[in-house]
Structure formats: C-alpha cells, structure tokens
C-alpha cells in the first residue's frame, strides 16, 4: 500500500503541475492572439486606406495593373510606419503588381502570407480585383511574444512548483491519516465510535445466545 | 441630429436588387479555342462603355472578333448597319442605348419579323428596359436580350444627397411630356415622405406644340430657393439635359446646390455633386453577360438584367467653392473630385 | 478526513489547489497583458491619427480651407465608434481647436499627436487623440475572460485525469483500504474481498473475519436450539451492522470506460474549430462544386458515415466484443486522423474523414454497449450519465484546445494530435476494459423491426418532428454555419472554438435539471416541443444582426432548447418502444438513432447548400424555421395527451453526440 500511495501522490502532483503548465501555455497562446489582433488592427487601417484609393481608380476604368500612381502611394505609406516592411498590391491571382519594395513586384504571394494583413479590393461589379497586403516586421510580434512569455514564466514556474508541492503535502497528510486510521482499525479497542458501538451490540447479541448454551466456544477472537 | 455617415460600400450598395454574383465564374478563363464574332453597334462612337466591355472579354480570356459599327448619332442609320446579318452571322450583338437596342431587338411582345430574335443581344446604357418594353422584367428577360442598366436607383441617389447635406425640402424641374421623369418624381416623393421632407416639383412650361421650353427657368430656380429648397435635384430628364447651361448658373447665383443624376451634369453641366454609374463599369457588367452567353452557353433569356452594385460619387470642387458648400470630409475617401 | 478517504481527499484538494494556481496564472496573464498589449493598442491610435491626418490633407489639397471642412466631428465620431478606446479626437491649428469629438475626463490621459501637412509644405495643424485607459483595461479584461475559460478547461481536464488515476486498477488496494476504514467509521462490520496479505489490511480483515465466523457459529447454535427469538436478534444485529455480508463494489462499467472514451471523443472534438478553414485550404479551385459545399462535404460525409454505421455496428460490436470493438474503432479513427493530417489531396482527405467516422461510430456503439451490457437496468441511467458526461466534457475541452493547436501549429499537426489521442484511447481501452465476451447470437435489425417501430404511437412525429430537427439544427448551426460565418468575419479558430463551447456548457448544466423537471411535472412531450421551438426560434435572432454576441445568444438558446428536449425525447422513445408488439423495442431505439444521426448528416449539407445560395442570415432563418415547424408538427400530432406513466425516467441516456 505504501508504494501505491506514493505512486498515487506522485501522479496527482504531476497532474497538478501539468494542469498549471497547460493553463499557463494556453493563457500565453490567448494573449499572443490578442496581441497579434491589436498589432494587425493597426496595419489594417493602412491597408484600408490604400485599398479604397485603388478601388476608386478602378471604378474610373483604370485597371489595377495600370494604376501607375500606386507605387508612390505604397512607398509613402510604408515610410510612415517603421514597423511596415513592405506593402504589396496583388491581382486576384496573387501576382504582385506593385510594391513599396521594387524587388517584390512580379512575385506570387500565397493566399495568407505570414506576418501580414490583407484587404480585398473589389470593382463596381463587386468582383475581386486584387488585394492590398501589408507585410509587417515580425520582430514587433516576437518582441511582444517574448515579453508575454517572460511575464507568464515568471508566474507560472513558481505556481507550478507550489501546486505540485501542495498536492504532495496534502497527499502525505491524507496518507498519514489513513495509515493512522488503519493502525487503529487493527485493534478493536481503538476503533472509531460507531464501529465500537456496532461491535458492542454484536458482542451483546452473541453473548446472549452463547451464554445460554454455556458453550466453551466463542468469546472474543 | 447627426447626419448619417455612410461609407462607400454601404452607400453604394443601398437599394440595389440582389443579383447573381458578378465575379467571373471559375474556369472561365480557360482558352476554349473558339473565336467569337461580336457585332458592336454604337450610337456616338466608342466610349468608356465599350472599353470596359472589351477589357472584360479580354480578362476572361475569350477570343473575339469585334466588328464595330457606329450610327453617328442617327438612328436612321441602323438598317444599313445590320443589313448583312445573314452573311456576317455574329455570335452576339452588342447595342448601346435604348434606341439602338429597341431598333435591333424590338419590344418583347412584338411579332414584327424585322426584329432579331435568334441572335443574343447584350445592351449597355439602357435606362429603363422594362418601360421601354425591351424585356418584361429585370429578373427574367425571357427573350434573346439581356444587359446592363446604368441608372442609379432614385432612393440611393437621395441617400447620397442626404449624406452630402441633410435637407428638408428638395426642388425638381421636369418635363411633363417625359413619362420617365414622371416616375422619378414619384419615387423622389415616396422617399421624401419616408423621411418627412418636402418635394417641390415644378414642370417646365410647354410651348404651343406641347413641347417643354426653357422659358423662365431662371425665375423658377430662384423661386425654388425662395420656397426654401435645400437642393435642386437634376433628374435624368432629356429636355433638362439640354439646358444645364441655363439651370445651373441660376442655381449657383441663388446659392442652391445641385445634385445631378447624369455624369455629364457634374462634369460639364455645372452641378455640384452626383452619384453615377461609371461607364467603364457598365461596360464590364455588359461584358460579364456576353461571357456568360458565349463561354457558358447560358441563354440570354435566363440572364437577369442588372444595375451595378456600386456607384461613384463625383463632386465638382469649383462649384463647391463658389457655393461655399463643401462635402463632409469622410466623403473624400471615396468621391472623385473634379474641377470642371 | 476519513470519510472522504485518500483518493477523494486528494481529488478535492487538487481542485482547490488548481483553482488557486490558475488564479495566479490569470493574475500573471493580466500583468503580462497590461505590459505588452496596452502599448500595442496605443500604437493603433497613432495609425488612426495618421489616417485622419491624411484625409484632412486630401481635403486641403482639394481646395477646402481647414476651417471650412465639413463633417469633421461626424467623421471623428465615426472613428471613435470604431475604436472605443479613443475618448477625444480634435483637429487643432496653432493653439485653437477647429473641430472636436468627445471629451476626455482626465487631462493627463495618454495622447497621440499627428501633424497635418500637405506634401513638402509647412504644418497646417495637428490631429490630437486622447486615449481612455479604462477602455483599454476593459479590452484587456475581455482577453482575460478568454484566459479564465482556458482555466476552466484545464480544471476539467485535470478532473478527467484524476478520475482516470482513481479508477485505475493499480490503486484498487487503496480503494480496499479506504472502503474498510470508511465502513468502520460508519459502524459497518462487513467483510471485504481482495487485497489479501497486505500488511496493513490483514489485521482488520482478521478481526472482521473472526467476528463473522463467530456470528455464523452463534447463528448455527440458535438454529440448532430452535430459538427463534435469538435468531431474530442475531439477524437484526447483522442487518444493522452488515455483519456476515460482503462489501459490494458499485457498478464500475461506466467508470472503467470513461477515460478511454473521453480521450477518444477529445480527439474528434479537437478538429471542430479549425476543420472548415483546413478544408478550405486544401479544396482545389477546380472542384465542380461551390466552395461552400466543398467545405461542408467532409463534415457531411463524417456525419453520414456515423449515422449509417449505427445499425450494423450495433451487431458487429456485440459479435467481436465491446473491448475489441472499441480498440478496432479507435485504431481506424487514429489512422483516419493521421491520414487527414498528412494528405494534401481533397479526396483522400474526404476518405480519411469517412475512415475516422467509421471508427468513431464503432467506438461509440461499443462504449455504450459496454455500459449497457454490464449494468443492471436500474443502474443503466446512471451509467449512461457518466458516459454522456465524458462526451460532454470532451466537447467542452476539445474545441478551445484544437483551436489553439490549429492556430499555433497548423491544422495538419492538430490532426496528428487527434490521431495520437485516438491511439492513446486505444491503449487505454486495451488496458482497462474487461476482456471481450464474444456472442454468437447477435444479429442486426431486420426490416420487420423497423416496420413495427414506425407504427408505434406518435413515434413518427417525434422522430421527424423533433429528433431529426434537433440534430439537424445542431450540426447545421454549431458545426457549420456559425463557425464559417465567424471565420468570414475574421475571428480566429480559438475564438470560434470558445463560442462553440457555449452549447456543451449549457448541455452539461441543463440536461440533468430539465430531465428531472420533465419527470416531476410529467410533461415530457411539452418539454420536447418547447425545447424544439426554443432552439429553432433562437436561430431566427440573426434577423437582428450577426455580431458574436447575437451568435452566442443563438447558441445559448440552442443549448437550452436541446437540454430541455433531449432527455424527455429518449424517455418518450423508450415509452413508445414498450408499446411495440413482439419485442421489437430494439428496433425503435435503433430507428431513433438512425433518424437522429441522419439529421447530423443532412444538417451541414443543407447548411452548405443554403449558405452558397442564399447567404448566412437566410440560411440561419431557414434552418431555425424548419425546426420550429417540426416542433409545431409534433405538438399537433399530440391529440393523445402525453402518457402519464413514469416507466422510464427521463435520464440523459441519449448521448448527444454527432
């Protein structure tokens, strides 16, 4: 039983620790998402501004590839915010038509490039004509992630240890109490009150039957 | 009261009937190898409409041979333009405007054999195809004709006007002889009733032969202003279109802002602001109909007639400055500013 | 302390400890959010300021004098309504404020200043924005609600693990020890089996065994003498103290299967939040079906396969044994998940999902069969309640975890994760479930069974008016329409997962409550009808908008409606079953399952079709309307009032699993 108890307490301590670790990690993931959303909201405003301009021009009959004023606009917008790496305008197939970074023009962008915010542009027929993609510097996300991780680690590791230790402590206390009760249970004289009462009633009943018979058998085992 | 703030998207999609998605169907851009012959009939030479039409066919990857013929602003030229149909054998006929469309396809309930019923016709720039009896309804033309309508629904125009500057009275000048104007006046009244505004609709004077004349329009405009009109709405009235040069200067002199229903009213006619369908986009919309007929084989009778989903706001800054009435700043996000 | 025992005590302690620990984590999360996310929100205000400045510049370039700008306060107000943390925006020129919207309450609130200047020209003025720190705190608090949700999930999982450990065979010695101590503390002198020879237990067992033999001897004596009074006294004392009897271990069938079932269900639930987006990413553009149908097809195929396998697998799992059935099913499903995660082909993915579905159906049928086989009728409801609980907790924990895994590591990794969980469930089932007993005589349902079943009183109305629509709306809304719509609105998988949790939370809380009420008031039919109406009417709420709050309300009403109807529904079916002549009651239950699960399968298909053709709001209204209509049909069919007999309690027997 001692071994079983030890294993049990260890398992429970592990569950407590794992559960705290799980909670901390998922809290981290949640905060990370919130941080990303807040960061991206900022770049979405830029994407919106550029997209509206390009849609206006396309309504005037200037097809997206022919909007030669866009590169200037993209460069200007990209310069304003140092966290922006590049702003692309891609056609509906993801082919980059213009970019604040001249090297990027002519590339093909995936549907959901990492570390970017997109806004779809439509023409007056509400058909997609392309996307504005604001690529931001992942460093600002990474810096946020690092700060969040550090802050959470600072709390989580001591908490995790404390939870495990507290579980072990409670387990040991309970085990000691169980052991004590067991030891007492070995001797009917130290049984808990209800058990002693039951035993007394049984003894009385047995005594009544066996005494009448005056048989030598019986008595207390 | 806070003026309703509308962004371009919500403003421009108000009141527009829901139609089938206009995005190019997937797989359409595949090269089918066939070259389609399109007879393009224009009324006053090729415009932005035709540019949009051609661009869309190109984008869709359709190989086309377009034979362009122009009526040189005279409908009497039409018979000669389609005299050789039997030998030309076009896959599709494109028509510009109501007279050409009606001349080619005729009213839907006519049995006159001179009208073409076996070649699909796609029109652009027809203002009221149902009233003109080109088709019995927008949703289901039920015959070999479909196309793109360029007028902006009246209530959408009224909302744009309201967004620019709220009003309690709107003035209108119209010709009693034009059935279309009559309908629009009623639509304006219905909208204004809904928002508790007043409509001052004044007909032009008619001459002896019953035709409208420009006589005394300056006084009429001044009187509208005296009667506390906040806006003068320049509806798409054919006669009104010919006398912008007399109406808008009078409005400017009276300090009355003008809202034009036709693009020309703002660009050249001296109106302050207007909500219009871009000709290029109307051409594109007609183009999608042509693609659907040619590449997908959908009969024209089953393709709904549509208006655009979004319209364009044009503001004449020269007029704005003269009037001292400037657009709300948010409108600058989506308006085109002209200085004509 | 003794009363609870070591296992119970430590279980209770771990809850308290974890609540405190998770509270600490939440506090840490709050601190971290304030330090990192708050500056990010402030940076956004700068971006808004630049946007406003750019617009003013456009106006000035168009020739509008700064002081004559129109609609500036309205524009600022609009910006403020879109970014609630902005308390005041003003346009200043020199020292004067030209236009202003809102008013800050404290002069020292953080501010952002962006200059307005036409290109290469002098500064014309400034856009000044003041930020309300209390709103930022609110935004941080919203994030912390998410963190708290995660805490609840962590706690639930810990409880499942605790249950796993406590139920494990390895700690049965401890269970014996605790049982002995507990019995003594209650004054029960019963004998216990097992744990022979343990050093600590042996003395107790010796005492009790000796007492028992002495009792037997005394009884023999009394009997020999024919002393009826003494016999009666002895028996009375024995009955009071439990002397002579052997401690019986309660029914463990459900407890034994629970951990493995939980892990297995968790595997499937993980996939919910990211599945639509994942399918979208692998669906090729050249499919001859609309993108919406392409997304819903794997979900439909899964549901359909589960539905179709219900009847045949009932017999199959009996033939190969419950343990074997569970393990085979878990293995198949694991293969399906792994294949789903590895393949890039849409059609292979579709096949993999069907494979997982077949495994899922087999596991479900086997686990349920195990509980039913190994419990007496009186214990069955309770056993099935444990079974339902495992599934519901999985439904609760799976989506948020799956959402985070999907967001952080990608859908394919999340599928591999599911595969791992299913494999773990397989191992656990192999270790914990008792060896299979094969049965020869098992046979599937015949057509006659079904024919008899459909003629049972009022059953058709119940099946097609309530059972089918209930699963139909659940699958259509909760698993398809709402996740797809939320993703379209730009919410992350994790956020979608948390919203999807609303339904199982309400179910876990509501099912026992409504089951008890329906029984007490003898109003099962009423609860079924009211539940259906409520669930359907909830979907109509989208007429007022599609904000996450309204969608959450839709899910909440769906949960309440389903919680009201699900248990009374199965009780009514059981009632009907008893009225079927010729012992075809199995047919009724089988038919119920089949119809119910067809609803699961048809739901997403119909939803996908509707979404593609009429849009989100109309789809929701249509589905909701159909369900209300079904409930109405059921009410109208009830000219015969609901039976007042209480033959089968409305216990949550019918697991609400897709």
Q: In this structure, is the dihedral angle defined by the CA atoms of residues C117, C122, C123 and C124, taken in order, positive or negative?
A: negative
Q: What is the CA radius of gyration of chain A?
A: 37
How many whole angstroms separate alpha carbon A112 and alpha carbon A130? 13
Looking at per-residue confidence, does C462 or C655 come out higher? C462
Contact C77 B2 (CB under 8 A): yes
Q: In which band, very low, low, confident or very high, does the pLDDT at B287 lie, cut at 50, 70 and 90?
A: very high
Of A159-163, B125-129, B214-218, C149-153, minimum mean pLDDT range = C149-153
Paired strand residues for B231: B170
Residue B28 contacts C, CB cutoff 8 Å: no
Torsional class of B34: left (φ above 0), alpha (ψ -120 to 50), beta (otherwise)? beta
Q: What is the mean pLDDT of residues C288-309?
A: 83
Q: What does each C-alpha distance from B239 to A188, B204, B244 come to in angstroms?
A: 117, 9, 9
Task: Determine the pLDDT at residue C393.
Answer: 83
Q: What residues in A contact B277, CB-CB < 8 Å?
A: 124
* Interfacial A residues in 55-74 facing C (CB < 8 Å): none
Paired strand residues for C126: C92, C115
Looking at per-residue confidence, does B139 or C215 come out higher? B139
Looking at per-residue confidence, does C341 or C140 come out higher? C341
Task: Determine the pLDDT at residue A132.
Answer: 94
Neighbours of C446 (CB within 10 A): 11
Which 3 state secondary structure label does DSSP give A114?
coil
How many whole angstroms separate alpha carbon C532 and alpha carbon C535? 5
| Closest Cα in chain C, distance from residue B323 (Å) | 12
Nearest chain B residue (CA) to A55 = B334
**Average pLDDT score, chain A:** 85
Q: Report the relative pairing of strands C86-93 and C123-131 from DSSP bridges.
A: antiparallel
Report phi then psi at C517, rounded to 5: -65, -45
Residue C315 contacts A, CB cutoff 8 Å: no
Question: What would the pLDDT profile of C572-625 be if each residue is shown by its tens digit?
Answer: 776 666 665 554 555 566 677 778 778 877 887 788 888 888 888 888 888 899
Q: How many angstroms separate the most distant Cα atoms in chain C?
A: 124
Which two structure tokens, joined as six digits, stand for A69?
């004023």
Task: Determine the pLDDT at residue C209.
Answer: 82
Of A139-148, B269-278, C462-471, minimum mean pLDDT range = C462-471
How many whole angstroms separate alpha carbon C514 and alpha carbon A8? 37
Q: What does each C-alpha distance from C634 to A35, C469, C627 come to in angstroms?
A: 50, 11, 11
Looking at per-residue confidence, does A186 or B46 come out higher? B46
Of C437, C422, C293, whose CA–CA distance to C357 is shortest?
C422
Task: Determine the pLDDT at residue B171.
Answer: 97
Question: What would the pLDDT profile of A44-102 be if each residue is shown by its tens digit?
Answer: 988 988 998 888 888 777 788 888 888 888 998 888 888 899 999 999 888 999 999 98
Neighbours of C534 (CB within 10 A): 21
Q: What is the mean pLDDT of residues C497-513?
A: 76
Looking at per-residue confidence, does C66 or C179 come out higher? C66
Contact C71 B324 (CB under 8 A): no
Which two structure tokens, joined as six digits, stand for B154?
């009246």
Of B193-197, C197-201, C650-654, minimum mean pLDDT range = C650-654
Looking at per-residue confidence, does C135 or C285 come out higher? C135
Q: What is the mean pLDDT of residues B217-229?
A: 96
Looking at per-residue confidence, does C287 or B226 come out higher? B226
Burial C612-635 (b: 16+ CB within 10 A, else e): beeebeebbbbbbebbbebbebbb
User: Across the interface, which of C59, C77, C285 has its CB nearest the CB of B332?
Assistant: C59
Of A29-43, A54-68, A163-177, C7-21, minimum mean pLDDT range = A54-68
Which two structure tokens, joined as six digits, stand for C72?
């500036």
Q: Are B254 and B301 in contact (CB under 8 A)?
A: no
Task: Determine the pLDDT at residue C128.
Answer: 94
Q: What is the mean pLDDT of residues C313-329?
A: 85
Q: How many angstroms separate the most distant Cα atoms in chain A?
A: 120
How many whole angstroms separate alpha carbon C93 and alpha carbon C474? 58
Q: Find the DSSP H helices in chain A.
A: 2-59, 70-80, 138-186, 193-213
Report phi then psi at A203, rounded to 5: -55, -45
Which two structure tokens, joined as six digits, stand for B71?
């009526």
Task: Determine the pLDDT at residue C2.
Answer: 42
Cα C279 off chain centre by: 22
Task: Determine the pLDDT at residue B300.
Answer: 95
Give chains near B: 3+ CB pairs under 8 A.
A, C
Q: CB-based contacts of C510: which residues, under 8 Å, 6+ apart? A: C559, C560, C563, C564
Residue C303: pLDDT over 60: yes
Residue C72 contacts B, CB cutoff 8 Å: yes
Contact C199 A35 (CB under 8 A): no
Nearest chain B residue (CA) to A49 = B333
For testing the chain C interface, which of A3, A9, A43, A45 should be mutated: the one with the most C CBs within 10 Å? A45
Of A44, A35, A194, B336, whose CA–CA distance to C34 is shortest?
A35
Report phi then psi at C430, rounded to 5: -60, -40
Residue B60: pLDDT over 60: yes
How many whole angstroms separate alpha carbon C112 and alpha carbon C127? 8
Q: What does each C-alpha distance from C278 to C77, C298, C379 come to in angstroms?
A: 39, 11, 42
How many whole angstroms separate alpha carbon B84 and alpha carbon C608? 50
Looking at per-residue confidence, does C90 or C453 come out higher? C90
Q: What does each C-alpha distance from C174 to A9, A179, B321, C165, C375 come to in angstroms?
A: 12, 11, 92, 12, 24
Q: Find the DSSP H helices in C466-584.
A: 468-473, 482-488, 493-500, 502-520, 524-539, 548-578
Report phi then psi at C443, rounded to 5: -140, 155
| Closest Cα in chain A, distance from residue B147 (Å) | 13
> In three state form, how does the secondary structure of C256-291 look?
HHHHHHHHHHHHHHHHCCCHHHHHHHHCCCCCCCCH
Q: Give me the domains of chain B, ranges plus CATH numbers.
A: 31-151+278-309 (3.40.50.2300), 154-276+313-338 (3.40.50.2300)
Task: Determine the pLDDT at residue B247.
Answer: 95
Q: What is the CA radius of gyration of chain C?
A: 31
Contact B326 C285 (CB under 8 A): no
Q: CB-based contacts of A32: which residues, under 8 Å, 6+ apart? A: A144, A145, A148
How many whole angstroms separate alpha carbon C645 and alpha carbon C631? 22
Q: Are B122 and B95 in contact (CB under 8 A)?
A: yes
Q: Are B316 and B339 in contact (CB under 8 A)?
A: yes
Task: Determine the pLDDT at residue C512.
Answer: 67
Residue C131: pLDDT over 70: yes
Q: In which band, very low, low, confident or very high, does the pLDDT at C241 lie, cut at 50, 70 and 90?
A: confident
Task: Determine the pLDDT at residue C647.
Answer: 42
How many whole angstroms separate alpha carbon B268 and alpha carbon B316? 9
Q: CB-based contacts of A180: which residues, under 8 Å, 6+ apart? A: none
| Closest Cα in chain A, distance from residue B292 (Å) | 15
Q: What is the mean pLDDT of residues B16-40?
A: 56
Residue C541 contacts A, CB cutoff 8 Å: no
Residue C34 contacts B, CB cutoff 8 Å: no
Q: CB-based contacts of B233: which residues, under 8 Å, 6+ apart? A: B157, B161, B170, B171, B172, B188, B258, B259, B261
Q: Are B337 and B331 in contact (CB under 8 A)?
A: no
How many whole angstroms separate alpha carbon C445 and alpha carbon A198? 55
Residue C253: pLDDT over 70: no
Which 3 state secondary structure label does DSSP give C328?
helix
Tokens 């769906």 belong to: C558
Tokens 């509400």 belong to: A126
Task: Determine the pLDDT at residue A190.
Answer: 79
Residue A134 contacts C, CB cutoff 8 Å: no
Q: What residues in A contact C404, CB-CB < 8 Å?
A: 26, 29-30
Q: In which band, very low, low, confident or very high, does the pLDDT at C337 lie, cut at 50, 70 and 90?
A: very high
Residue B319 contacts C, CB cutoff 8 Å: no
Question: What would the pLDDT profile of C421-432 be if each residue is shown by its tens digit?
Answer: 999 999 988 888
How many whole angstroms separate alpha carbon B324 and alpha carbon B340? 16
């Amino acid at each position: 039983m001692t071994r079983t108890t030890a294993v049990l307490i260890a398992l429970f301590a592990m569950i407590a620790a794992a559960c705290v670790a799980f909670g901390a990690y998922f809290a981290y993931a949640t905060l990370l998402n919130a941080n990303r959303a807040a960061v991206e909201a900022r770049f979405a405003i830029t994407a919106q501004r550029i997209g509206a301009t390009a849609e206006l021009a396309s309504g005037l009959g200037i097809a997206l590839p022919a909007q030669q004023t866009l590169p200037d606009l993209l460069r200007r917008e990209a310069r304003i915010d140092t966290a922006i790496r590049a702003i692309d305008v891609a056609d509906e197939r993801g082919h980059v038509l213009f970019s604040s970074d001249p090297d990027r023009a002519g590339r093909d962008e995936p549907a959901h490039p990492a570390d970017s915010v997109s806004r779809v542009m439509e023409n007056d027929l509400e058909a997609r004509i392309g996307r504005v993609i604001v690529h931001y510097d992942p460093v600002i996300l990474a810096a946020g992630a690092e700060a969040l991780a550090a802050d959470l680690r600072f709390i989580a590791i001591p908490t995790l240890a404390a939870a495990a230790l507290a579980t072990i402590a409670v387990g040991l206390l309970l085990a000691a109490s169980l052991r004590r009760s067991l030891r007492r249970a070995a001797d009917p004289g130290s049984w808990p009150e209800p058990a002693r009462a039951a035993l007394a009633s049984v003894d009385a009943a047995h005594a009544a039957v066996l005494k009448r018979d005056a048989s030598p058998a019986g008595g207390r085992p | 009261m806070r003026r309703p703030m509308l962004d371009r998207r919500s403003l421009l999609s108000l009141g527009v009937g829901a139609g089938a998605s206009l995005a190019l169907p997937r797989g359409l851009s595949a090269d089918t190898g066939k070259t389609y012959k399109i007879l393009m009939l224009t009324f006053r030479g090729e415009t932005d409409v035709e540019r949009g039409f051609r661009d869309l066919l190109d984008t869709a990857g359709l190989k086309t041979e377009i034979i362009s013929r122009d009526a040189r602003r005279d409908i009497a030229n039409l018979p000669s333009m389609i005299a050789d149909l039997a030998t030309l054998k076009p896959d599709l006929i494109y028509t510009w405007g109501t007279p050409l469309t009606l001349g080619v396809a005729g009213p839907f309930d006519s049995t006159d054999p001179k009208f073409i019923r076996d070649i699909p016709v796609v029109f652009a720039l027809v203002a009221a195809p149902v009233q003109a009896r080109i088709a019995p309804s927008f949703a289901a033309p039920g015959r070999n004709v479909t196309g793109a309508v360029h007028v902006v629904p009246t209530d959408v125009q009224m909302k744009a006007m309201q967004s620019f500057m709220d009003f309690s009275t709107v003035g209108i000048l119209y010709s009693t002889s034009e059935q279309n104007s009559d309908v629009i006046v009623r639509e304006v009244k219905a909208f204004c009733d809904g928002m508790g505004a007043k409509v001052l609709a004044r007909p032009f004077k008619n001459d002896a032969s019953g035709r409208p004349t420009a006589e005394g329009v300056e006084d009429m405009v001044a009187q509208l202003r005296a009667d506390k009109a906040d806006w003068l709405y320049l509806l798409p009235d054919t006669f009104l279109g010919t006398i912008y040069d007399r109406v808008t200067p009078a409005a400017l002199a009276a300090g009355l802002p003008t809202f034009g229903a036709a693009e020309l009213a703002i660009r050249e006619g001296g109106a302050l602001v207007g909500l219009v369908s871009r000709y290029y986009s109307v051409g594109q919309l007609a183009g999608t109909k042509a693609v659907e007929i040619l590449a997908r084989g959908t009969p024209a009778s089953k393709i709904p007639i549509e208006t655009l989903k979004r319209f364009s706001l044009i503001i004449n800054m020269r007029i704005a400055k003269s009037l001292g009435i400037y657009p709300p700043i948010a409108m600058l996000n989506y308006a085109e500013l002209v200085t004509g | 302390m003794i009363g609870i025992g070591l296992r119970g005590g430590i279980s209770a302690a771990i809850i308290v400890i974890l609540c405190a620990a998770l509270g600490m984590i939440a506090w840490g999360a709050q601190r971290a959010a304030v330090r990192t996310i708050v500056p990010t929100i402030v940076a956004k205000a700068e971006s808004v300021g630049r946007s406003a400045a750019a617009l003013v510049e456009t106006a000035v370039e168009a020739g509008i004098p700064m002081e004559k700008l129109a609609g500036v306060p309205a524009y600022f107000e609009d910006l403020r309504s879109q970014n609630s943390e902005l308390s005041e925006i003003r346009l200043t020129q020199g020292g004067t404020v030209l236009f202003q919207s809102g008013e800050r309450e404290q002069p020292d609130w953080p501010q952002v200043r962006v200059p307005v200047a036409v290109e290469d020209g002098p500064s014309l003025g400034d856009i000044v924005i003041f930020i309300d720190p209390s709103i930022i705190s609110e935004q941080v608090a919203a994030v912390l609600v998410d963190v708290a949700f995660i805490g609840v999930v962590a706690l639930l999982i810990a409880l499942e693990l605790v249950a796993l450990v406590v139920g494990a065979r390895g700690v049965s010695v401890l269970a014996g020890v605790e049982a002995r101590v507990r019995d003594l503390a209650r004054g029960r002198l019963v004998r216990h089996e097992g744990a022979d020879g343990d050093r600590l237990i042996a003395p107790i067992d010796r005492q009790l065994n000796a007492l028992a033999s002495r009792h037997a001897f005394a009884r023999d004596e009394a009997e020999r003498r024919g002393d009826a009074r003494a016999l009666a006294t002895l028996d009375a004392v024995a009955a009071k103290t439990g002397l002579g009897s052997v401690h019986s271990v309660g029914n463990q069938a459900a407890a034994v299967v629970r951990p493995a079932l939980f892990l297995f269900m968790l595997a499937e639930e993980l996939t919910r939040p990211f599945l639509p987006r994942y399918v979208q990413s692998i669906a090729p553009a050249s499919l001859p079906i609309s993108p919406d149908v392409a997304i819903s097809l794997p979900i439909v195929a899964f549901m359909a396969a589960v539905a179709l396998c219900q009847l045949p697998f009932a017999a199959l799992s009996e033939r190969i044994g419950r343990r074997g059935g569970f393990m085979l099913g878990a293995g198949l499903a694991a293969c399906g998940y792994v294949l789903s995660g590895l393949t890039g082909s849409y059609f292979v993915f579709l096949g993999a999902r069907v494979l997982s579905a077949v495994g899922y159906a087999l596991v479900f049928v086997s686990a349920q069969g195990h509980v039913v086989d190994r419990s007496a009728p009186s214990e069955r409801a309770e056993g099935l309640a444990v079974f339902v609980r495992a599934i519901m907790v999985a439904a609760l924990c799976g989506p948020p975890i799956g959402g985070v895994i999907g967001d952080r590591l990608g859908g394919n990794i999340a599928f591999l994760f599911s595969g791992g969980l299913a494999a773990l469930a397989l191992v656990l089932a192999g270790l914990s479930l008792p060896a299979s007993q094969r049965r020869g005589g098992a046979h599937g349902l015949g057509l006659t069974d079904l024919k008899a079943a459909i003629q049972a009183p009022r059953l058709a109305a119940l099946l097609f008016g309530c059972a089918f629509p209930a699963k139909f709306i659940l699958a259509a809304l909760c698993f398809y329409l709402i996740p797809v719509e939320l993703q379209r609105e730009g919410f992350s998988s994790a956020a979608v997962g948390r919203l999807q949790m609303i339904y199982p939370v309400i179910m876990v809380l509501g099912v026992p409550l409504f089951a008890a009420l329906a029984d007490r008031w003898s109003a099962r039919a009423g609860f079924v009808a009211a539940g259906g109406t409520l669930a359907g009417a909830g979907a109509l709420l989208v007429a007022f908008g599609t904000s996450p709050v309204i969608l959450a309300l839709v899910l909440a009403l769906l949960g309440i409606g389903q919680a009201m109807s699900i248990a009374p529904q199965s009780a009514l079916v059981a009632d009907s079953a008893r009225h079927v002549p010729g012992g075809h009651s199995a047919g009724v239950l089988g038919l119920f399952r089949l119809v119910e699960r067809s609803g699961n399968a048809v739901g997403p298909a119909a939803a996908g079709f509707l979404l593609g053709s009429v849009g989100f709001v109309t789809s929701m209204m249509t589905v909701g309307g159909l369900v209300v209509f079904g409930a109405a049909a059921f009410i109208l069919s009830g000219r015969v009032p609901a039976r007042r007999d209480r033959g089968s309690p409305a216990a949550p027997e019918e697991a609400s699993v897709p």
